[in-house]
Structure 1
């Protein structure tokens, strides 16, 4: 198992252990937050829910503020308001990380839209 995890991450055993310790400490500080792997790398997320950056981006884009914003996010993501509060707490401690993930997602979205528009002009 250990060798497979090291091979999959491309990290040495020491780096993998450090990452797991860091993630474990973050999960202990922010109950309900887990870490998921994927094409964009490891990222913080709600257990059985959306990525932290997705919730933060949503909260930034809606008109509601305060408890109404938390309730709106809970409804949209179909999670309890306490889980949205966990996201807000995590963001408070790791905002640079989450802001960077949002920027990457927005850039990817802009590139995809640009490519789509070019294809549409080609076949129009």
Structure 2
């Protein structure tokens, strides 16, 4: 399901859910695949939601689950939030939990600066 781009030199993994809608129907699979990345020691994740047009509470829950699993030993940021996805982050106040960036490059740059 997910597509990843690993930047080993930066210690950053870009995760694309590769679905149009991140909902109860696929959020568990997304979370399991992303957790597998964390188990492989990828602890700085950029979640690229550019191709996602809708996220429900299960999708948000999957993202929070990743954040909780990493705890203080890593980071999860999101990027490319569009339309209703951006609105859902504001409504649920996840915009205060996750750092959000306009695109993948901006997210990577921000993580690079935090080293």
**Shorter-chain TM band:** under 0.3
TM-score by length of 2: 0.27
Give the helix-richer structure, 1 or 2. 1
Which has the greater radius of gyration?
1
Give the strand-richer structure, 1 or 2. 2
TM-score by length of 1: 0.26
Choose between structure 1 and 2 for higher RCO, CA contacts under 8 A separated by at least 6 residues: 2
